[in-house]
Structure 1
Amino acid sequence: MAETLVSIALQQLAKIMEEQVKLVTGVEEDVRTLKSNLQSIQGVLVEAEKKQFENVPIKQWLDNLKDVSYAIDDVLDEWSTAIVRAQTEEDDFSHSWFESQLLQFPFLRQVCSFLPINSCFACTEFGNRYEIARKIKKLNARLDDIAKERKRYTFKLTEGNEEVNKPLVVTSAIDVAEVKGREQDKTAIKKMLMVESGNRSNLQLQVVSIAGIGGLGKTTLAKLVYNDKDVEKYFENRVWVSVSKPFDEVKIAKSILEILTDAASFFNEFETIMQHIQKLVKGKRFLLVLDDVWEDGPSKWERMRDSFTSASLGSSILLTTRDMSVPGNMGCRRDCLFKLGKLSLEDCWSIFSEIAFFQKNNEERGRLEAIGREIVEKCDGLPMAAKTLACLLRSKQSWKEWQSVLDSEVWELDGLWEKGSETQSGFASLWLSYYNMVSELRPCFSYCSIFPKDHEIKKDVLIQLWMAQGYLRQTPAEDMERIGEKYFQNLAAFSFFEELKKDDYGNIISCKMYNIVHDFAKYIRKNECLSIKVDGGEELRTDSLGKEVRHLRVMLGKEVSFPSSIYRLKNLRSLWVQSKGNSMIGAALPNLFSGLTCLRTLNLSNCNIVEIPSTISKLIHLRQIDLSYNKELKELPETLCELYNLQTLNISWCVSLVKLPRGIEKLINLRHLNNGGFEGVLPKGIRRLSCLRSLDRFGIGHDGEESCTLGDMKGLNSLQGYFCIRGLENVADVDEGKQAELKKKTEVSPLELRFGKGDAEWRKSHDGELLDALEPPPYVQELRVYDYQGSTVFPTWMISLTSLKTLLLTNCKACQHLPPLGQLPSLEFLRIWGMDGIKKVGPEFLGTETQSALVVAFPRLIKLRFVRMRNLEGWADEFSIKRTIMPRLRTLSFAWCPKLKAVPDQMLGKATLQELIFTCSPILKQRYQKGTGEDWHKISHIPNIKVWNFGEKRFLKLLEVHLKLLLRLVLF
C-alpha cells in the first residue's frame, strides 16, 4: 500500500512541477526535494512491504511513510484544486495579473476589501498558496527523516512498475463437474439432512453443521447440497442466508422472510418478523442454510430457533463455520457434525493442473509438471490455495517463475500470522498471489475490504471508488474506466472474485468475494479499513478506532445519533453510512462536512436525508458522493458546484428532487451523473460537462433558457452505457435532433427515446421527422422507443443498425404498419406493445419485398412478444409461403390481443420453439385449447405452453404492486 501512495504522490508532483509550481513563490526547491526523497524510497518498497510482518521496525517505518504520503497527496490535491477554482471562478478579470501586482505593491492587500469579487478571491488564493507552501516545507522535513531512516535497513532495489497483463479468460460459476473430491462429502451431508422421519430423534428441527478451517470449500460444498435436485424435491422451502460477523438476528430474520415471500419486508421488530416466518413455514418441510457462522451467533440463535419448530418434521438447519465450538452451541448433535477434511493430493493436483496448464502445450506441461506437483504439496489440501496458485501460475511460462513461487519465504514465515490461525495456510497462497500481481492491482483489491462479507459488489461502482481514491490514472490511450475494467478482469483472473453476474450481452455487472479472500483483504488493510456497528449506549471512542483509519463503514441502529467522535477522524478518505431507516443522520451533516475534509468518497444512500447543508463545499477533495434513494431530498445546494474534483454524483431515485444546481457547469471533472428516477429537467450548464461518461436521463423542458434543449447534448460525446432522452414532445424545432449529434455517441447502449404522452395532431409529422433526425450510434445493441405518435416508425437509419440485438416499441399508437425489421441481422429480442393502429401484420414486417426462399427474415430472432395489440386480427398470406422466417425462434408471446384469430403455422411449427404464451387473448385460447382446440395439434410439440386469463387491469395492478415492492426492497 505504501508503494501505491508514493506512486500517487509522485504523479501529483509531476503534474505540479509541469504546470503549477511557479505559481507559488519559493516552493519550487521544496517540491524538487520532496520528489527526490520519494523516488529514493520508492525503489525499496516492494521488499519492505514483504518484510514488514516479520520485522516490527520496518512495519513502523512503513506506517510513518504511509502517513506522510497521505498528507502529501492531500496538500498537492489542495494546491491543484485552488488552481482549478481560480481558473473556473474568474471571469474577465485576470487572476495571474492581479497576483503579480500584489507581489510588487504590498499595499494593495490593504484595499482588497474594496475591490470587485474576483480581486478579493485573488487575495484569498494568495493566502491559500502561502499556507500550501508552509505545509510542503513541513512535510519535507518529515519525509527527509524517513528517507534517512531507510538507510538503516538493507533493502534490495526493484525495477520500475510492470505493465498490467492482458486480462485472462475467467470462469466464475460453480460447475459441479469441476468440484473435485467432494462427491462423498456431498452424499454424507444429504443423508444427514434427508433422514427418514422414523430415524430422526424427537427434535422437530435438526441442525447439521459443516465445520473446518478457512479455504476448505465449506460454502462451495453447502451450495452443492443446496442446489441438488434431490434436496430441491425433499424440502418445500429452501432459504440461504450469509451470516458472517456480527450475527445480526434482525437482518437474518428479514432475509429469511423476504426469500419466503419473494418480496421486501417492511417489518423492523424482530418478534413481528419471526411470527410471520412461523406462519409461513408451519406444516412445511423447511431447509435453512446459515453460511459462515461465528462465535457471537449461538446466544442470539436461541431467539430464532423456536419460531422454526412450527415447520414439518424433516426440516433442517445447515450451517457452515470455522469455529468448532459453534455447532454444539447451536444445538448440533455429534452425529450431525461433519468435519470437512482436506483434499487428497491428487484432487488438489486435479484442480491445480486444469487451471495452471490451460492453453499450455504438452512440451510446456512436461517441463513444469514436476515443480507444479511440489507447489501443490505446499497447498496442504486446501482447494482454495490450489485454485489461487493455479490462477497465478497460469500466466507464467518459465520454469524460473514457477520455481520462485516454490522457493518463496512466505511458506516459512511463522510470524506472518498468529500461530494456530485457522486461515494460515490459505493466507500463504493468497499472499503469494497478492505480491505476484502488479503493484497497481494491490490497492484495488485490498480496498474491497470496505464491503461487508457476501456483499454484491457492483462493478461500475467499484471502479468509480477506485477512481476516487486515485488508484486509476488516465493515460492518453485509455481513460480511467477502461483501465478499471482491465484491473477488475485481472483480479477476477486471480480468482479473488466469485459469482460474477453478467448482463444479456455477456458484460460482467457484479461480483462477490470468497469469505477467506475477504478476510485476507481485511488483513492487508488491518486498522486502515474498518466497519463498526453503533446501536446506542456509550459514545463511540475515537481511540478505539485508531489514527490509521482511512476508510470507515458505519452501521447505525434505528434512531441512533451519529457518533460525534467520528468527526475527529480528520484523515478519513472513505465514509459509508448505513442507517437502517435512521432519520437522525441529517442533523450530523454540518459537523460531518466541516470535520472530515479529507474525504474522497461519501456514501449516504438511503439515509432519509431531507436537506444537504451548504457546508458541503468544504469537502474539496471529494470525488464520489452517493445520495441515492433519499426520497425526501428536494434540492441540492449551489455550493455543491464548488466540488471541482467531483467525478461521480449519484442521485438515483431521489424522487422529490426536481432540479439540479444552476452552476453544475463548474463540475468540470464530473464523469458519472447517475440520475435514474429523476423526473426533473437538467440545467443548461450540463452541456459544458464534456467529461461525462454516464448520464441516465437527459430531460428536456419547456423553458429553453433555464433548462436543457436537445441540442445541448451535442458535446457529450464521451457518454457510455444506458442513456434515456425524455421530453421529446417538448422539442419544437426538429432540427435540434441533428444538432444533438446522437450518432457520435458511439458507446451509448441501451438507448431509450421517450416522446411523452399527448395526441396533438401536429405530432404525427413532428415525431416522425424528429425520430428521423435522432440517428443513433451505429453500434447500439438495444433501442427502446416510447409514446411515439408518428404514423410510421421506420426512420431512414433503422436498417443500418446491424448490431441491434433488442428492440422495444411501446405505445406507438398512430402507426398503421409495422416497420420492416426482418432484415436486421443481429436482432434477438423484439417486443411490440400498444400499437392500436395495426390490424394486420403485413409482408413489410419481414423487411424485404422479394419472396425468395433464399432470403431469411429475422435470422437471429429468439424472442417475439406482442402486447396490447387491441386491433390486431391476423397475418398476411406471405407468412404461409415456403421461405425461411425466424429460424432460431424460441419464445413467442401474445398478451391482450383480443381480436387475433390465429398464428401462422410456419411460426408455430418450428422445432426451435420452446415457449408459447397466451395471455387474455380469448380467440387464441379457444383455437389452441389443449384437447378441444381445432389447432391444438399444431402446438402440442412445444415443451412449455402457458395460458393466463387474468384481466389487463388486474395485471397492471399486480405489476404496479410488484414494482413498488421491488423499489422498497432496494430502499431497505
Structure 2
Amino acid sequence: MAEALVGGAFLSAFLQVFFDRMASREVLDFFRRRKLNPESLRKLRTTLLYINAVLNDAEEKQIKNPAVKKWVNELQDTAYQAQDLLDVITTDASRYKLETELEMCKSKVRSFNLTSLSSYNRRIEPKLEEILGRLESLAKERDILGLKEGGGEKPSRKWQTTSLVEESSVYGRDDDKFSIIKLLQANDGSGDNISVIPIVGMGGVGKTTLAQLVYNSELLMGLFDVKAWVCVSQEYDVLRITKSILQAVTPSTSDSDNLDLLQVGLKNSLIGRKFLIVLDDVWSDNYADWEAILIVLKSGAYGSRIIVTTRRRSVALTVRTGTVPTFHLMPLSDEDCWLLFAKVAFANIDTQEYPELELIGKKVVKKCNGLPLAAKTLGGLLRVKLDPKEWVKILESNIWNFSDSESGILPALRMSYYYLPSYLKPCFAYFSIFPKNFKFKKEQLVLLWMEEDFLLSTKTENLEEVGSGYFDELVSRSFLQQLGGRNIRYVMHDLLHDLAKYVSGEFCFRMEGNNSDGLSEKTRYFSYSRRKCDAYERFEALHKAKGLRTFLQSSNVLAAHGYLNNNVIPNLLPALRSLRVLSLFSYCNLTELPDMISTLKHLRYLDLSHTAI
C-alpha cells in the first residue's frame, strides 16, 4: 500500500484518484484527438493543487468557523462535479480506444471521432469551464479565509496523559486491573529480561485509566525498582521517549538532544534494575521505531515489564513478547456506566431524591454504549442541572450538536478521525449510510469502495487487495469490531457511527421511514431501509440530488417479501444520471429493468441478487 500522510484531509485522497485519472494516457490522447482545449485540463489541475495545499488547515478550522465549513462543502461538491465530468470523458476515451483496437466498422469509428466532434465539444467544454470557474473562485477565497499551506493543529500536544488517577471515579475495572497485575507478576516463559503487555481498545474505552490504576496499585509496591510513564501519542519520537524515561529513572536530568548519549545513559541507568514502564497511546506499528527503544530497555533486570496502550491491534502484534497475550479492553456494563455518569452528573446529591432524573439518566447512559469517556462527558453536561427538561434535551439530541466547549467527547473521537490517513477517511465516512449495528461483510464494503473511487491504485496490488488492506486497517484501529460466528461479520460502535455521520455531512443521507429532511442537492450517497412495499412517492425527493452516486438498500432485517412499485426505477433513473452504485437486492417482484439503464455511463455496481430477474 502506498504510504500516505497520516492526518491528511478527507479530500486529499479523493483528489489523488482524480489526478491519476486526469493524467492517464487515454484521457490525454482523447483530449488531443477531440481537439479539446488542453489548457483547461492544465488549469484544472493547477487550481486543485493550489487548493489541496490548504486542506489540512481547512479540515480543522471548519469545526469552529462556519465560513470555512461552507468553503469545504462547496469545494467537495465542485470536486464531485469535476470527477463526474472526467468520468464521462474517460468512458468515451475507453470506448474510442476499444473500437479502434478491435478494428470495428470504419463508419462507426469515423462517426464517433469526426461527425460528432463539434457537438461533443460544445457539450463538454462549457461544463469544464464552469467547473474551472467555480474552483478559481474557491481558490481566491482560500486566501481571504486565511487558510495556510501545511496547516492543521497537532491535537496530540493537547492530550498528554500522566500516571495520576482518581480511583474513586473509576467503575467496573477491578477485574481488568487484577488481570493486568497478574500478568505483571507472572513469568512469561520467554527467557527475556523484559516482557510487554499490550492493552488494546477503541478510543474512549478507558485504556489509559486502566494503565493508571495498575501503575499506582499498592499490590505492585516493592515489585519494581523504578517506574516511568510516557505519553507517546501520534508522533513516535525516539528522542523524546528516551529522555522521558531517563528523567524518570535517574535523579540527574539532561538537556542534551544527542540521542546516542541519552540512550547510553539510559542503558547504564537500567542495568540490574527491574522496571515498569508505561508507553501510553502508541500508534506506530513500525518495528524499526519499536526496536530503537527496545534495544535500550533490554538492559533492565529480569522481570522488567512494559505496558503499551493502543487503539491498533497491529501495534500489539509488533510489541508483544513471548506468550504474554494481548489484553482487549471491553466497554463497561450499563450499570457501571450509570455509576460513573451519576457521580459526575449529581456531584454529592443523592440520586434517589430525584427519581425522574434517574429514570432519564439511565436512558442517557444507554447512549454511551459502555464508553466511560462518553458517560463522563454527558454527565458533565448535566452536572447539578435539576430541571428534567434539560435532561430530556440531552436524551433526544445528538452528541454532535454539542460545541467543543461543552463536550470533551468530540475532541477525543475527532482526534481518532483526524489522525486517520487521508485514504481511509472517505471509506470511514461511507459507513454513515448504513444503519447503526449493521453487520458488515468485508467483501461487500471493499467492492463498494472500489466502485466509489475511494481506493488508491498501486503497482503491486489490485484494487480489491488495496480495499482489503484498508478494511483491515480500520479493524486494527478499533473503528470496526469483528463478531463471532461461522460467517465473519463486523460492526461499528454507535458513537463511531455518529462520528462517521458527522464528518460525512450532507453528502451522505440515510432514509428511515419517509423522512427526507436533510436530503439536498449536494447528497451523493443514499441508502434506505426496505419496507414490505416501497412506492415511488417515498423516493420522490431524490430528484433534487441530481449528482447522486449511490442508491443502496441496506437494513439489518429484510421484510419477508419486498415489493418495489414498478414505476420507481423508471421514474428515478432519468434524474440520477451520475449513479455508480444501484442496489435492488431482494426485491422479489422485480422482473426487468428499463432500457435506459444502458445510458448510465457511471454505473459500475448493479446488485439484482434475490430478485425475479
Which TM-score band (shorter chain)?
Answer: 0.5 to 0.7
Task: Give the alignment partner of residue 564 of structure 2, picking from 584, 597, 608.
Answer: 584
Amino acid at match of 1:529: C
Residues 780-819 of structure 1 show CA distances to partners (whole Å, capped at 9, x for unaligned) of xxxxxxxxxxxxxxxxxxxxxxxxxxxxxxxxxxxxxxxx
> Where in structure 2 are the equivalents of 1:822-841 lying within 5 Å?
none
Question: Structure 1 pair 347/34, CA: closer, same or farther in 2 (3 Å)?
Answer: same
The corresponding residue for 2:459 is: 476
Task: Give the alignment partner of residue 599 of structure 1, picking from 579, 583, 590.
Answer: 579
Residues 480-500 of structure 1 show CA distances to partners (whole Å, capped at 9, x for unaligned) of 111112212221221111025
> Where in structure 2 are the equivalents of 1:926-941 lying within 5 Å?
none
Q: Which is bigger in relative contact order (C-alpha 8 A, separation at least 6)?
A: 2
Supply the distance in 1 between the matched residues of 2:518 and 2:417 (Cα, whole angstroms): 29
- In structure 1, stretches of 5+ residues that fail to align are 99-118, 160-178, 186-213, 221-341, 377-385, 398-410, 634-972
Residues 451-498 of structure 1 show CA distances to partners (whole Å, capped at 9, x for unaligned) of 221111111111111111111132322211111122122212211110
Instruction: Answer whether contact 1:465 1:624 (CA < 8 A) is retained.
Output: yes
> Where in structure 2 are the equivalents of 1:492-571 lying within 5 Å?
492-499=475-482, 509-534=488-513, 544-562=518-536, 563=538, 564-571=540-547
Amino acid at match of 1:12: R
Residues 546-592 of structure 1 show CA distances to partners (whole Å, capped at 9, x for unaligned) of 22221111224333413322233211111113573332344211122
Say yes or no: does 1:44 pair with 2:54.
yes
Residues 713-737 of structure 1 show CA distances to partners (whole Å, capped at 9, x for unaligned) of xxxxxxxxxxxxxxxxxxxxxxxxx
TM-score, length of structure 2 as denominator length: 0.57
The corresponding residue for 1:951 is: none
Amino acid at match of 1:8: V
Supply the distance in 1 between the matched residues of 2:215 and 2:580 (Cα, whole angstroms): 44
> Where in structure 2 are the equivalents of 1:753-772 lying within 5 Å?
none
What displacement does 1:39 show? 0.9
Partner of 1:155: helix, strand, or coil?
coil
Supply the distance in 2 between the matched residues of 1:532 and 1:150 (Cα, whole angstroms): 34
| Structure with bigger gyration radius | 1
Supply the distance in 2 between the matched residues of 1:396 and 1:429 (Cα, whole angstroms): 25
Question: Structure 1 pair 387/445, CA: closer, same or farther in 2 (3 Å)?
Answer: farther
Instruction: Answer whether contact 1:426 1:516 (CA < 8 A) is retained.
Output: no
Task: Give the alignment partner of residue 450 of structure 1, picking from 433, 439, 454.
Answer: 433
Amino acid at match of 2:61: K
Instruction: Answer whether contact 2:578 2:603 (CA < 8 A) is retained.
Output: yes
Supply the distance in 2 between the matched residues of 1:606 and 1:367 (Cα, whole angstroms): 61
- In structure 2, stretches of 5+ residues that fail to align are 1-9, 152-170, 178-201, 217-228, 249-276, 282-307, 320-376, 382-398
Question: Structure 1 pair 629/349, CA: closer, same or farther in 2 (3 Å)?
Answer: farther
The corresponding residue for 1:206 is: none
Aligned residues: 407
Say yes or no: does 1:11 pair with 2:23.
no
Question: Structure 1 pair 458/585, CA: closer, same or farther in 2 (3 Å)?
Answer: farther
Residues 85-124 of structure 1 show CA distances to partners (whole Å, capped at 9, x for unaligned) of 33445653347973xxxxxxxxxxxxxxxxxxxx378645
Amino acid at match of 2:51: I
RMSD across aligned positions (CA): 4.4
Supply the distance in 2 between the matched residues of 1:585 and 1:87 (Cα, whole angstroms): 40
Question: Structure 1 pair 424/574, CA: closer, same or farther in 2 (3 Å)?
Answer: farther
Instruction: Answer whether contact 1:500 1:510 (CA < 8 A) is retained.
Output: yes
Instruction: Answer whether contact 1:458 1:510 (CA < 8 A) is retained.
Output: yes
Instruction: Answer whether contact 1:528 1:548 (CA < 8 A) is retained.
Output: yes
More helix by share: 2
Supply the distance in 2 between the matched residues of 1:594 and 1:554 (Cα, whole angstroms): 20
Say yes or no: does 1:346 pair with 2:248.
no
Amino acid at match of 1:457: F
Task: Give the alignment partner of residue 139 of structure 2, picking from 147, 159, 169.
Answer: 147
Instruction: Answer whether contact 1:388 1:430 (CA < 8 A) is retained.
Output: no
Residues 421-446 of structure 1 show CA distances to partners (whole Å, capped at 9, x for unaligned) of 99943442332222223211111122
Question: Structure 1 pair 355/491, CA: closer, same or farther in 2 (3 Å)?
Answer: farther
What displacement does 1:126 show? 5.3
Task: Give the alignment partner of residue 619 of structure 1, picking from 580, 583, 600.
Answer: 600
Question: Structure 1 pair 484/40, CA: closer, same or farther in 2 (3 Å)?
Answer: same
Instruction: Answer whether contact 2:19 2:45 (CA < 8 A) is retained.
Output: yes
Supply the distance in 1 between the matched residues of 2:456 and 2:605 (Cα, whole angstroms): 16
The corresponding residue for 1:574 is: 550
Question: Structure 1 pair 137/364, CA: closer, same or farther in 2 (3 Å)?
Answer: closer
The corresponding residue for 2:295 is: none
Residues 12-47 of structure 1 show CA distances to partners (whole Å, capped at 9, x for unaligned) of 221265432212324211111111101111111112
Question: Structure 1 pair 598/217, CA: closer, same or farther in 2 (3 Å)?
Answer: same
Supply the distance in 1 between the matched residues of 2:122 and 2:215 (Cα, whole angstroms): 63
Task: Give the alignment partner of residue 58 of structure 1, picking from 56, 68, 76.
Answer: 68
The corresponding residue for 1:173 is: none
The corresponding residue for 2:105 is: 93
What displacement does 1:343 show? 5.5
Question: Structure 1 pair 548/426, CA: closer, same or farther in 2 (3 Å)?
Answer: same
Instruction: Answer whether contact 2:232 2:241 (CA < 8 A) is retained.
Output: no
Question: Structure 1 pair 387/545, CA: closer, same or farther in 2 (3 Å)?
Answer: farther
Supply the distance in 2 between the matched residues of 1:600 and 1:59 (Cα, whole angstroms): 27
**4+ runs deviating over 6 angstroms:** 353-357, 362-366, 369-376, 390-397, 420-423
Supply the distance in 2 between the matched residues of 1:348 and 1:435 (Cα, whole angstroms): 29
Amino acid at match of 1:27: N
> Where in structure 2 are the equivalents of 1:319-358 lying within 5 Å?
346-347=212-213
Supply the distance in 2 between the matched residues of 1:436 and 1:348 (Cα, whole angstroms): 28
Supply the distance in 1 between the matched residues of 2:97 and 2:403 (Cα, whole angstroms): 59
Supply the distance in 1 between the matched residues of 2:464 and 2:231 (Cα, whole angstroms): 29
The corresponding residue for 1:820 is: none
What displacement does 1:509 show? 4.7
More strand by share: 1
Question: Structure 1 pair 387/626, CA: closer, same or farther in 2 (3 Å)?
Answer: farther
Instruction: Answer whether contact 1:78 1:620 (CA < 8 A) is retained.
Output: yes
